[in-house]
């Protein structure tokens, strides 16, 4: 989409919204973003990029309807569900703006914080991160999150912000660098913080979801935590080595103790079947745990060297061919484009009738 002379005097901000079965939130998110930028229309223009992770509801149909009436709305639909992190990374790579802001479709991260993000960006910060001051969830989950973020910060050498999520503003300079990084298992919040040269946080209160259900149950939260830890630290591997070394040392000391006790003092140690069994099971358990840790890293190396696409795009709406071509050129993502906004909704309706 070519910018007019009036728009060229204003900075373009890309709003990135990942979607998976969010038919109850899409219009609300669009209207909330539009209303915020309406108050800043003298300084900024915007585009909204929806990345649909192969939703099974009417999400893409609703997005296509919005795109038909507002050319600032753009969308890509993936050929299958590639996961939240890959969806966000693809959205960053499709962004055409001078800066991009990622926000969840459920509006738990309020668009009303945008002006603060943009003010700090105008001051020269290349990454502005939303810091979650309060979350409407159980005390146990809040404590677990706080503990995890501080553990990750302690173990990682990267510039990670405490109590932050994916809600953040990214400058064009960082967006361009994301095109050059090929990571098949991206942890985008950590990746953008790693690339930042001047990062700052903005505290806000996270709202409750008003429609739909969370796409991050406990199992996915644990998987995300593991991704963050393995992506930004080799501490688990070092822990396996240190624990293995410590157990080997204790085993040697115990062996010498038994041998010298028998030779020097003539002590006859009773046969200990239970003790032997417990020690054997303990050793087997440790081996299984640490082999699992090593396997996690080896699996990621295997996936990385295969150089498979980050995402495969089944359908696009209002996305320039130049953006899709650049995405495929730098990251290997396969882009199958069609700007006919009614093609995919008809396909979904046919599938539902079957």
Kindly report, residue by residue over 272-289, the tens digit of the pLDDT: 645 675 577 677 667 767
Nearest-CA neighbor of 331 among 99, 175, 100?
175
Look up the pTM and report it: 0.70
Query: Which comes out higher in pLDDT, residue 46 or 257?
Result: 46
Q: Is the pLDDT of residue 301 over 70?
A: yes
Tokens representing residue 95 in the block: 């962004």
- Out of 52-56, 94-98, 185-189, least confident range: 185-189
Whether residue 39 contacts residue 112, with contact meaning beta carbons closer than 8 Å, is answered with no
Share of the chain above pLDDT 70, in %: 63
How many CB atoms neighbour CB 81 within 10 A? Answer: 15
Distance between CA atoms of 196 and 194, rounded to whole angstroms? Answer: 6
Binned at pLDDT 50, 70 and 90, residue 216 comes out as low
Instruction: Name the residue among 121, 113, 124, 142 with its Cα closest to residue 202.
Output: 113
Tell me what the mean pLDDT of segment 124-151 comes to.
Answer: 78
Identify which of 23-32, 234-243, 343-352 has the greatest average pLDDT: 23-32
- pLDDT score for 188: 82
Copy the structure tokens of residue 44.
């900024």
Beta strands 199-205 and 312-317, pairing class = unpaired
| CB distance 49 to 91 below 8 Å | yes
């Amino acid at each position: 989409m070519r910018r007019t002379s009036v728009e060229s005097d204003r900075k373009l901000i890309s709003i990135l919204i990942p979607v998976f079965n969010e038919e109850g939130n899409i219009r609300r998110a669009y209207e909330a973003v539009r209303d915020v930028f309406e108050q800043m229309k003298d300084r900024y223009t915007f585009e909204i990029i929806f990345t649909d992770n192969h939703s099974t509801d009417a999400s893409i149909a609703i997005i296509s309807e919005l795109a038909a009436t507002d050319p600032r709305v753009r969308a890509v639909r993936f050929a299958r569900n590639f996961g939240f992190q890959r969806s966000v990374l693809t959205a960053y790579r499709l962004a055409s703006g001078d800066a991009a802001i990622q926000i969840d479709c459920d509006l738990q991260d309020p668009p009303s914080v945008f002006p603060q993000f943009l003010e700090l960006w105008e001051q020269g910060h290349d990454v502005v991160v939303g810091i979650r001051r309060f979350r409407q969830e159980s005390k146990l989950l809040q404590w677990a999150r706080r503990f995890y973020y501080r553990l990750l910060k302690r173990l990682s050498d990267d510039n990670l912000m405490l109590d932050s999520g994916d809600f953040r503003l990214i400058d064009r300079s960082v967006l361009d660098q994301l095109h050059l990084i090929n990571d098949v298992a991206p942890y985008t919040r950590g990746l953008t913080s790693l690339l930042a040269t001047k990062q700052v946080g903005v505290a806000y209160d996270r709202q409750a979801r008003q429609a739909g259900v969370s796409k991050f149950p406990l199992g996915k939260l644990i998987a995300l935590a593991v991704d963050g830890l393995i992506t930004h630290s080799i501490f688990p591997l070092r822990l396996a080595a240190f624990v293995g070394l410590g157990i080997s040392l204790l085993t040697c000391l115990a062996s010498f103790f038994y041998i010298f006790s028998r030779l020097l003092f003539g002590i006859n140690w009773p046969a200990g079947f239970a003790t032997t069994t417990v020690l054997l099971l303990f050793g087997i358990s440790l081996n299984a745990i640490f082999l699992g840790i090593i396997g996690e890293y080896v699996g990621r190396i295997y996936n990385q060297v295969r150089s498979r696409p980050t995402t495969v795009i089944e359908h696009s709406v209002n996305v320039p061919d130049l953006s899709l071509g650049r995405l495929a050129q730098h990251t290997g993502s396969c882009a199958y484009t069609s700007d006919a906004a009614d093609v995919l909704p008809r396909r979904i309706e046919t599938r539902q009738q079957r």
